[in-house]
Amino acid sequence: MTEKQPTKPKGRGKGKKPAKQVTSVALDDDLIQALTERAEREERTVSALIRLAIKYYLECVK
């Protein structure tokens, strides 16, 4: 019989602010792959990378 590995708790974690709003966005497979690879390299979640990219874009197009 194998031991069950401990699972990471789900959710935003203790002390983090709750999400303000969740929005769905349709992305092409190549963009999802690029986001996933970049997020792994930067040790971020894909969601965090997308939020950062949107903030950067909005700052640049003022």
pLDDT digits (tens, 9 = 90+) for 17-30: 776 898 999 999 99
3 state DSSP class of 35: helix
CA 62 to chain centre: 25
Q: Using CA atoms, how far apart are residues 31 and 61, in angstroms rounded to an integer?
A: 21
- Burial class of residue 22 in the structure, from the number of CB atoms within 10 Å of its CB (0-12 exposed, 13-18 middle, 19+ buried): exposed
How much is the pTM?
0.66
Per-residue confidence band for 5, with pLDDT thresholds at 50, 70 and 90: low
Q: Using CA atoms, how far apart are residues 41 and 36, in angstroms rounded to an integer?
A: 9
Q: Find the helix packing angle between 46-60 and 29-41, rounded to 10°.
A: 100
pLDDT at 13: 64
